[in-house]
Amino acid sequence: MYTAQGRIDKSDTLAKYAPLVRRLALQLIAKLPASVELDDMIQAGMLGLLDAANRYQENQGAQFETYASQRIRGAMLDELRANDWLSRGLRQSSRNVDAAVQALEQKLARAPSEREIAQAMKLSLEEYQHLLQEIHGSQLVYYEDQEGGSNENSFLDRQSSSAERANHNDPLERMLESGMRHMLVEAIAQMPERERLLLSLYYEQEMNLREIGAVLEVSQSRVCQLHSQAISRLRVRLSESRCIEVA
Q: Enumerate residues 6+ apart whose C-beta is below 8 A from 206.
A: 27
**pLDDT, averaged across the chain:** 76
- Domains, in order of start, for the chain: 10-83 (1.10.1740.10), 88-246 (1.20.140)
Closest CA to 67 of 179, 168, 200: 168
Start-end of H helices in the chain: 10-29, 38-55, 64-83, 88-108, 114-120, 125-134, 155-166, 171-178, 180-189, 193-199, 209-216, 220-246
DSSP state of 2: B
pLDDT at 151 over 90: no
pTM: 0.59
Residue-level pLDDT at 47: 92
Identify residue 14 by its one-letter amino acid code. L
- Which of 20-34, 72-86, 104-118 is predicted with the least confidence, judged by mean pLDDT? 72-86
Burial of 108 (0-12, 13-18, 19+ CB in 10 A): exposed
- Distance (Å, rounded) from C-alpha 49 to C-alpha 85? 23
Residue 195 or residue 165, greater confidence: 195
**Tell me, what's the pLDDT at 137?**
60
Tens of pLDDT, residues 178-230? 566 777 888 888 889 999 999 899 878 878 888 999 999 999 889 989 988 99
Q: Is pLDDT at 113 greater than 50 in this prediction?
A: yes
Rounded Cα distance between 91 and 101, Å, is 16
- Going by pLDDT thresholds of 50, 70 and 90, the confidence category of residue 247 is very low
Taking the mean position of all CA atoms in its chain, how far away is CA 20? Answer: 19
User: Which residue type is seen at 145?
Assistant: D
Contact (Cβ atoms closer than 8 angstroms) between residue 187 and residue 234: yes
State the helix-helix crossing angle for 220-246 and 209-216, rounded to 10 degrees: 90
Q: How far apart, in whole angstroms, are the C-alpha atoms of residue 147 and residue 22?
A: 36
Assess whether pLDDT exceeds 60 at residue 56.
yes
Give the closest residue to 232 by CA, choosing from 93, 108, 122. Answer: 93
166/147 Cα distance (integer angstroms): 27
Query: How far apart are alpha carbons 177 and 80 in whole angstroms?
Result: 26
* CA–CA separation, 177 and 220 (whole Å): 36
Q: How far apart are CA 180 and CA 11, in angstroms?
A: 35
